[in-house]
Structure 1
């Protein structure tokens, strides 16, 4: 694997290998000693993804190069490509990039000679989030096959929905969407359910944030929770073993009742924890693929 850009580049076996590696890291406490340099190039706001990568990198013993787009040469007109080439030139071994463009990686993947991880591409993909969601589901059920997963919310503007829907379908899940009319994406060929139907059939209810920053016009959200969100009344109608996921940040009281964010069936903070282990797994597999990491040292860490 040259870069980690999309789950579409992985076979099902490779996806499961990554999940198994993440699980192995979850059960380890010793720090690896790799002494590599990594640059986290985030051009959109991020808490969970950026900090999760930072923790993963530091647990692997990596040196994290500081980058703040607001104080970088990007403010002087430098391109993403030249920024990436700069970090490559000064000795970075890995780039983690989040950018508002849907296809930012196209100009980089054939020209940059160090591995790149996609930490979010506009409205198109979020493959590391998808991997941590898959891990959370797999931990719960021991399988992905034949599970009914309903992805709920701002489908049209969500890279999480796009990455997850395709990956879950490929791994054998039955995938549905549920959304307000203005949040639907008819280019994605998955059936839509009402929220009342969704809560009754799902094994996994994956809620999405309304992404106001990606809307041309601010969407009215008055009564959104009652009409399209997860209320306490709807949660009571879910199957006993069903779980709730959310990539966060959570709009409490909008897509989900605030009292359900940490309820018994919620795995929202478990997802965040799993994000560290998944990103450790992705980083080490990439470095191994490039011959930048000693496999024996990884086994011992």
Structure 2
């Protein structure tokens, strides 16, 4: 296999990732996966590097995962959360980033409720001529690249645990179900899965799934059954309860009846179907509890472990390119 090269200084979106780049992430994550099962769960790869988690929007799961990934690589970690910060005193987002830059940050992991903030910080660092890699940990309804990549890694390792690669997904039918409109996870997954040659089917109520999503190269369904028909994988998305107050869905109960993934419904899928969910899960809404806890069907616990390996891979790849 030809040597693939990594030229990214930042990871902001999966929309322009090539197949080669996706494979580099998969291979690198696979080599780090073994570290997580060793007795000494640390490698000195990023010793003396400083990773800052700038989480302007709270997210315990993603932040913990990035923090653990950085520590497994022996990096120093600084966490920032705005509740206690000077943002409330009128400091701007860029001021905050520059403060951490002055403290010696080598990498910034940025999450923000508005789309485009990680891109803005990355641009500012580049304009300043600083060698700081920026990782988008979720911005608005735009993207969540590390989640898309960990889902990709989970899918590929479930097919071939030893050599996860994009071509394993070529021609596989993958259904993504739920609130596609407000999901940055769905957008990142769509980009990477279509790039891998998977056949992506989206299902959700019309209020949460605009027709325009077909432009990504996916098939759009406003009922669940055609999306599930012969699917190899089913990925269900978190439903935010505020969608009710916005009248985008009639009721949680009706949503579950029409789009909830249950044992009965997945009879339509391939016999070896596996189910994923980016978490946190509303049990009995997006997916039935018994299905979620069924180890022969659910890849949800694997997604969590994959997340640490993939984020280790991203921090490693970015830091190598930064220096």
TM-score band, normalised by the shorter chain? over 0.9
Q: Write the distance in 2 (CA, Å) between the matches of 1:213 and 1:289.
A: 41
Aligned to 1:240: 271
C-alpha deviations, 1:164-217, integer Å up to 9, x for none?
A: 112101110001100012111222113223212233321010000112357871
> Does the aligned pair in 2 maintain the 1:225–1:231 contact within 8 Å?
no
Q: Write the distance in 1 (CA, Å) between the matches of 2:237 and 2:53.
A: 25
Q: Write the distance in 2 (CA, Å) between the matches of 1:226 and 1:158.
A: 21
Q: Write the distance in 2 (CA, Å) between the matches of 1:57 and 1:249.
A: 22
Residue segments in structure 1 that go unaligned for 5+ positions in a row: 292-301
Q: How does 1:97-108 map to 2 (within 5 A)?
A: 97-108=110-121
**Displacement of 1:81 after TM fit?**
1.0
Aligned to 1:261: 292
Change (3 A) 1:213 1:128: farther
Q: Confirm or deny that 1:26 pairs with 2:57.
A: no
Alignment counterpart, residue 281 of structure 2, candidates 250, 256, 274: 250
Q: Confirm or deny that 1:118 pairs with 2:136.
A: yes
Q: Write the distance in 2 (CA, Å) between the matches of 1:259 and 1:45.
A: 29
> Does the aligned pair in 2 maintain the 1:157–1:214 contact within 8 Å?
no
Could you tell which deviates more after superposition, 97-106 or 232-241?
232-241
Q: How many matched pairs?
A: 291
Q: Write the distance in 2 (CA, Å) between the matches of 1:232 and 1:183.
A: 24
C-alpha deviations, 1:129-184, integer Å up to 9, x for none?
A: 00000001111224111110110000110001111112101110001100012111
Alignment counterpart, residue 50 of structure 1, candidates 63, 80, 88: 63
> Does the aligned pair in 1 maintain the 2:137–2:144 contact within 8 Å?
yes
Q: Confirm or deny that 1:12 pairs with 2:40.
A: no
Q: Write the distance in 1 (CA, Å) between the matches of 2:10 and 2:245.
A: 32
Q: Confirm or deny that 1:92 pairs with 2:105.
A: yes
Q: Write the distance in 1 (CA, Å) between the matches of 2:117 and 2:82.
A: 15
Q: Write the distance in 2 (CA, Å) between the matches of 1:214 and 1:109.
A: 32
Q: Confirm or deny that 1:204 pairs with 2:217.
A: no
Aligned to 1:141: 159
> Does the aligned pair in 2 maintain the 1:157–1:211 contact within 8 Å?
no
**Displacement of 1:225 after TM fit?**
1.2
Q: Write the distance in 1 (CA, Å) between the matches of 2:86 and 2:111.
A: 17
Q: Write the distance in 1 (CA, Å) between the matches of 2:305 and 2:68.
A: 10
CA-atom RMSD in angstroms: 1.6
Change (3 A) 1:215 1:289: farther
Q: Using structure 2 for the length normalisation, give the TM-score.
A: 0.86
Aligned to 1:72: 85
Change (3 A) 1:270 1:262: same
> Does the aligned pair in 1 maintain the 2:231–2:273 contact within 8 Å?
yes
Q: Secondary structure at 1:125's aligned position in 2?
A: coil
Aligned to 2:305: 273
C-alpha deviations, 1:33-58, integer Å up to 9, x for none?
A: 21211110112221221111011011
**Displacement of 1:237 after TM fit?**
3.5
Q: Using structure 1 for the length normalisation, give the TM-score.
A: 0.92
C-alpha deviations, 1:213-235, integer Å up to 9, x for none?
A: 57871543232211111122113
